[in-house]
Amino acid sequence: MVIIPAIDIKDGKCVRLAQGDFDRVTTYADNPLDMALTWVQQGAELIHIVDLDGSVAGKRRNSNIILDIAKNVDVPIQVGGGIRDMETIEFYLGNGVSNIILGTAAVHNKELVYTAGEKYPRKIILGIDALEGNLGTSGWTQRIAQNPVDLAKNYENYNIKAIVYTDISRDGMSTGVNIKATKELAKAISIPVIASGGVATISDIKELLAIDDCKIYGVIIGRALYTGAISLEEAIKESKKVS
C-alpha cells in the first residue's frame, strides 16, 4: 500500500480544510514546494496535490505552483482540483504531472472521462467524494444524490488508474478512516482504490493493511502529517511490512 502525503493549495499556500469547509482552514506552510520537498526527503514515493481554489472556480488557479513542484521533486505527483476539460488535462500531463484526478467531471461529464482514459490510459484517477452515501462536487460545495459505488462502476474498463475515495465528513477531522465504505467500494470494482479522509494515527494505516478480502492500493494522509500525529517515515515503514 502506497503512503501518499497530501498538499492542498489555497491562495498559494499549503493548507488543510475541515470537512472541506473553506471557512475552516488552517495554513501549514507558505510555500507548497518546500512542503513537497520535505515529504520527499522523508521517503514519499508519490504526492497528492489539490488546487482548492481551482476546485471551486472550475479552472486552474495554482497551476504555476503545481508545475514548480513537478519540476523540482523526483517522485510522481497526482493533481486534482478544477480539471474539467481536455485542455487542462493535456496542460498538466504535458508539464510533468504524472496523473490527473477528475472529481466533478466524473459526476457531470462522463464523456470527458472516457475520452481522457482512452487518450491517456492509466493516467486518469477519479476522485469520488462522499457524504452520507451521496456525492460531493465542485470543491464539495454541491451535493449529488448518487451512490459512490454506482458511479464507480460506470468507469470499469476505461483505463482508469485508480479511484481516490474520500469520506467528506472525516476529511481533516482526524477521526479515522471510513473502513466500511472504503472496503465496500474496493470489493465492488476492479479499479484500485486509494483511501482518503480521516487518517488520524498509525493504527489507521494498520487497519487498512489488515483488510484481507480486498486490496487497498494506497492511502492519502493530510492533517495527521502536518500536526505530527503520524510520522511519514513510520507510516511508510509500516506499509512495507505487508506486500
- The CATH number assigned to the domain holding 128 equals 3.20.20.70
> How would you classify residue 122: left for phi > 0, otherwise alpha for psi between -120 and 50, otherwise beta?
left
The pLDDT of residue 243 is 52
195 pLDDT above the threshold of 90: yes
Going by DSSP bridges, is the β-strand pair 47-51/2-10 parallel, antiparallel, or unpaired?
Answer: parallel
Q: How many domains does the chain have?
A: 1
Residue 42 belongs to domain spanning: 2-239
Cβ-count burial 167-205 (b if 16+ within 10 Å, e if not):
bbbbbbbbebbbbebbbebbebbebbbbbbbbbbebebb
- CA-based diameter of the chain, in Å? 42
CB 198 within 8 A of CB 173: yes
What backbone phi and psi angles, to 5 degrees, belong to 68?
A: -65, -40
At 36, phi and psi to the nearest 5? -60, -45
Asked if 74 is an active-site residue, the reply is: no
Judge residue 165's burial from the number of C-beta atoms within 10 Å of its C-beta, 0-12 exposed, 13-18 middle, 19 or more buried: buried
95 within 8 A of 88, measured Cβ to Cβ: no
Q: How confident is the model over 27-45, as a mean pLDDT?
A: 97
Active-site annotation holder among 8, 51, 167, 171:
8
Question: What is this structure's pTM?
Answer: 0.93
Q: Is 120 helix (H, G, I), strand (E, B) or coil?
A: coil
What is the mean pLDDT of the segment spanning 163-191? Answer: 86
Region 138-153 average pLDDT: 77
Q: Could you confirm whether 129 is annotated as catalytic?
A: yes
Per-position DSSP letters for 184-203, written without gaps between them: HHHHH-SS-EEEES---SHH
* Per-residue pLDDT at 158: 92
Mean pLDDT rounded to a whole number for the chain: 92
Helix ranges (DSSP H) in the chain = 32-41, 52-57, 63-72, 86-93, 104-108, 110-119, 148-153, 179-188, 202-209, 223-227, 232-239
Whether 15 has a pLDDT exceeding 70, the answer reads: yes
pLDDT one-digit tens code per residue, 52-87: 999 999 999 999 999 999 999 999 999 999 999 999
Among candidate residues 30, 51, 85, 129, the one labeled active-site is 129
